[in-house]
A and B are shown apart, each in its own frame.
Chain A
Amino acid sequence: MSARRAPRWLRVLGALGRVNAAEELQYRANFVASGLGTLFALGTALLTLLLFFRHTVRLGGWGFWEVVVLLGVFTSLSGVVEAVLRPGIGQLAEEVRSGELDLVLARPVDAQAFVSFRRLDLWRLTDVALGLVVAGYALVRLGRPPAPLAVVAFLVALASAGVVVYALWVALMSLAFWFVAVENISVLFDALFEGARYPVTAYPGALRVVFVYLVPIAWTTTVPAAALTGRLGPATALGAAGVGGLALVLARLLWRAALRQYTGGGG
């Protein structure tokens, strides 16, 4: 039944990608600025870690290079956020307020999928690669090459992490339908995601429980990094995939409830 839909989807995605690429390639100076910005952010993050590790040898049981692996994962995921989520679905709160969302809803495609993938800030995708390079370098310094199965577990956990981050954005933007005057609701994500810079084991007990079960920040960086450094067995990947799937379903339900709210309000 989806035989006819799938290719159309690919065509829409491909067209969006081409338009974005053509647009971004006009602004090559932005590539340098965005690259410098990322390097600066990475530099301050590393200096912060060095400062912590001047006074300790372990952070929540993790050694320095293990936390750098995690920092690499954090940088990669931030790249996904800045390249896809913030410029795409992140504009939603403002569009709900101004009513521009009507233009999105009028399109003959799934609204959630369209707002999610309509924009692609190409340059920021290099952050994803940079983060993986940092994680790889830290692994080398760790001197503990991951087993093939651990790499597979990492890739699954990383993909799930991307899904969890995406679900968080969908959930937050859905909230904007109820609290209309909150155009900076994405700050809530930034605040939460700050917590993902360090392994959750470093936080006091209550906060750790929140990060694992309530707002699943632990699954975005700690779990993929732990899978890569061999702290967690490959079976963890199954848990991560489960969390990712669950987050996606919950976010979708919230989105649909929010859309019904919008129709009711705008009618």
Chain B
Amino acid sequence: MTALALWARRYGALIRNAWLIDLQYRAAIVLWVLWGVVEPAIALGIWWAIAGAGPVGGYSRADFARYFFALTLVNQLTLAWDSWYLDRWIREGELNFRLARPLHPMHEAIADNLAYKGRTGGTILVLWLLVAALWPTVRLAFDAERWALVGLAVALAAAMRFLISFTTGLLAFWTTRATAIMELHAGVSLFLAGRVAPLALLPPVVAGAAAFLWFPYMLAFPVDLLTGAVQSGGALARGFAGQIVWLLLWLLACRVAWRRGIRRYGAVGG
């Protein structure tokens, strides 16, 4: 109980700190949110035009609208900038004072994420509600059980994307192009995570291969869960199993990269 209270106090302070820092940059954050909205909006515009002649692979215009609204929200709630921060921390030595603190630097990164996602995800949610008030197409049925599952899937996806971003950022211990690797990852995720189109519209071979990687579980699965595209118990179980397996594997990768990287960093910094 006291340990729990201690962690609650630590996180309370870290999140408050991150929230206040973000507050100084709110105009800049609005622009980042806008950036996060534009990509799905353009994809929706294109699919909207294509689906004008009739449903595409089972997706009508309304389905596309719901898919990309859900994608925008889930993406904002799961996206992690940590590889850019870590790259800077490591290259410019800003990691040093963080290592001197009696708290693993990862906790600061997690708190930053919680504060940022609360702010930007909340903004997107309000925008969605405003649009839904005027445009019934993008409304979703309320179903408490489903939304609880969505919450869990989004939390798992957010944790996984955080670990991916953090681990990739740790590569800065070895290379100056860690952020370029993250860009490559983003390019692949355009297709395999469902950012350009629902996975159901990819060539079946590609979608099948993607199911063996982490990409669908970091975005497409929670999105499909939110829109109701995932219904059957089997698909639900496969989705959560994929999320948990890949989350554990990325956790392992992160631990290995951190241990080896820190040893190397110490050796260089002397």
Q: Is the CB of B32 within 8 A of A184?
A: yes
B196 at the interface (CB under 8 A from A): yes
Give A187 to B36 CA distance when docked, in angstroms. 10
Give A47 to B202 CA distance when docked, in angstroms. 11
> How distant is A196 from chain B, measured CB to nearest CB, in Å?
10
Give A56 to B46 CA distance when docked, in angstroms. 11
Q: Is the CB of A203 within 8 A of B49?
A: yes
Give A180 to B28 CA distance when docked, in angstroms. 10
B34 at the interface (CB under 8 A from A): yes
Q: Is the CB of B49 within 8 A of A59?
A: yes
Q: Is the CB of B31 within 8 A of A182?
A: yes
Q: Is the CB of A194 within 8 A of B39?
A: yes
**Other-chain residue from B27, B48, B57 in contact with A55 (beta carbon distance below 8 A):** B57
Given A37-B180, A188-B34, A194-B42, decide whether A48 and B196 contact each other with a Cβ distance below 8 A.
Answer: yes
Interface residue tally on B, bucketed by range: 20 to 34
In A184-226, which residues have CB < 8 Å from any B CB?
A: 184-185, 187-188, 190-191, 194-195, 197-198, 202-204, 207
Give A202 to B27 CA distance when docked, in angstroms. 31
Given A195-B42, A207-B45, decide whether A187 and B187 contact each other with a Cβ distance below 8 A.
Answer: no
Given A184-B31, A187-B31, A188-B34, decide whether A47 and B42 contact each other with a Cβ distance below 8 A.
Answer: no
Q: Is the CB of A44 within 8 A of B31?
A: no
Give A109 to B27 CA distance when docked, in angstroms. 32
Going nearest first, the 7 A-B pairs with the smallest beta carbon separation are A191-B38, A56-B50, A187-B31, A55-B56, A44-B187, A202-B49, A182-B27
Footprint of A on B, CB under 8 Å? 24-25, 27-28, 31-32, 34-35, 38-39, 42, 45-50, 53, 56-57, 177, 180, 183-184, 187, 190-191, 196-197, 201-203
21 contacts between A and B (CB under 8 A): A33-B177, A40-B184, A40-B187, A44-B187, A48-B191, A48-B196, A51-B196, A54-B201, A55-B201, A56-B53, A59-B50, A182-B31, A184-B32, A187-B32, A191-B38, A194-B39, A198-B42, A202-B46, A203-B49, A204-B49, A207-B45
